[in-house]
Amino acid sequence: MSRLQAREITDADQARRLVEERGLSHVKVGMFDIDGVMLGKYMGREKFFSALEKGVAFCDVVLGWDSKDELYDNVRFTGWHTGYPDAPLRILPESCREVPAEGDMLLFLAEFDGRAEALCPRGVLRRVLARAAELGYTARAALEYEFFLFQETPESIREKGFRHLRPFTPDMMGYSMLRSSVHGELYHDLLGMAEAMDFPIEGLHTETGPGVLEAAIAVDEALAAADKAALFKTFTKVWAQRRGLMATFMAKWSPDYPGQSGHIHLSLREAAGGRSAFFDAAAPDRMSDVQRHFVAGQQALMPELLAMLAPTVNSYTRLIPGFWAPTDATWGVENRTTALRVIPGGDAAQRVEYRLGSADANPYLAMAAAIASGLHGIEHRLEPDPPVTGNAYDRDHPAHQALPRTLWEAAQRLRGSAAAREFFGDDFVEHFAATREWEERQFRRHITDWELERYFEII
């Protein structure tokens, strides 16, 4: 019997066999929380074997705290009032991956089960994809991320108070062959890690800004694409720190440079026959009726679902004119100044790029919002506004295209969205909106350097 490979695993029996073949005493098990932060632990071999059959439990505080481990005081699902009980999770054998930096170590993903499934980011996306299947479609997706690299460590950035950080490389050198060649070994190292962990990168280049890179992850079925994006963000940070560097996926770390995007390329295919549901060779820009309705739904619901694509206070510093980020719910054909960019192509390439999302978004929730809004358009046969040609920043747009300007406003729009409740469920909408309100409240407790410099002496 041939030795199994990690990416060949499809069921619990094969997972058990692979662990035994490698003689592992422990494996890694991880899941993604509401902010897209990966949490997990090393799990002993026998406990893992049991968890494959019966599931495992984590303290549900992981759904009740923020990205700094501060406990929410405004959510119903868990808290001091519930005593923070365990929440069940199921292991996903088919998610098995190598962990290149740890010898023969294996990583398995898990997702929340039981009551907690209503809040599980991966579960939210699964429910949206089930809705697509009911309509006769499968979704394919690819995410691309911009991220900055710094010659810093977790200790040095704190010693500096997160100021005067040293980028990995200087100056504005987008698409630089010089930079990628001088640092070729590092690029190859990242590309190799991505291949080994099954989130292959099909494009990697410098972007505009000191030390900024953009990576395009290869297309896959939507749920697998979200897994790959979430793992890419986590293990790119691991990869960087192991090399004395730091990577950040903040939406905007400096007012002097463009923000960091998390663009989502999406297409639907017909479940029966496998043809593109978006491609029509005879239609203008090859947009089928289905794609036109899909884009219309994305445009219509963008203001209501923005919190799922721009989930932090920092996200909204990116959404300003002239910095390659959209400011209204606009669309156009091959137009990078709009929020939605329709990309004409053949059966395999006709798609829409959802350009609104920032790099700090949870990939599962960002993709769920982008797909659900498109399905809403198909179900209601919505028609989009006229496409924008030219510069979307230099013209006025209808009031209904305006996007929320703060996280607080976005949370209120989400909480009041009937479509969000229909696609994601009341429990998720109430919980996620509350967590975003908490995030804004945390921000309001702090005095910024800008306020001190502006008001301390003169007012």
Residue-level pLDDT at 321: 74
- Whether 103 and 209 share a structural domain: no
**What CATH number does residue 313 fall under?**
3.30.590.10
- Whether 327 and 426 share a structural domain: yes
- Whether 173 and 317 share a structural domain: yes
Q: How many Cβ atoms are within 10 Å of 184's Cβ, its own excluded?
A: 10
338 domain residue, yes or no: yes
Tell me the per-residue pLDDT of 193-235, one tens digit each, with 9 for 90 and over. 999 999 999 999 999 899 999 999 999 999 999 999 999 999 9
- pLDDT at residue 15 above 90? yes
Read off the tokens for 426: 């009341």
458 domain residue, yes or no: no
Using the 8-state DSSP alphabet, how is residue 130 labeled? H
Number of domains present in the structure of the chain? 2
Tell me the per-residue pLDDT of 393-448, one tens digit each, with 9 for 90 and over. 888 888 999 999 999 999 999 999 999 999 999 999 999 999 999 999 999 999 99
Whole-number percent of the chain with pLDDT over 90: 92
Burial of 357 (0-12, 13-18, 19+ CB in 10 A): buried
378 domain residue, yes or no: yes
Residue where a domain stops, chosen among 81, 115, 149: 115
Residue-level pLDDT at 130: 98
> What is the span of the domain harbouring residue 152?
127-446
b/e map of 447-457 (b: 16 or more CB within 10 Å)?
eeeeeeeeeee
**What CATH number does residue 82 fall under?**
3.10.20.70
434 domain residue, yes or no: yes
Tell me the per-residue pLDDT of 223-270, one tens digit each, with 9 for 90 and over. 999 999 999 999 999 999 999 999 999 999 998 888 899 999 999 999
Residue where a domain stops, chosen among 115, 142, 163: 115
- Whether 231 and 358 share a structural domain: yes
Residue where a domain stops, chosen among 89, 115, 141: 115
Residue-level pLDDT at 56: 95
- Whether 212 and 328 share a structural domain: yes
Burial of 121 (0-12, 13-18, 19+ CB in 10 A): buried
- Whether 207 and 348 share a structural domain: yes
Strand partners, 403: none
222 domain residue, yes or no: yes
358 domain residue, yes or no: yes
- Whether 208 and 353 share a structural domain: yes
- Whether 96 and 155 share a structural domain: no
- Whether 399 and 379 share a structural domain: yes
- Whether 320 and 441 share a structural domain: yes
Whole-number percent of the chain with pLDDT over 70: 99
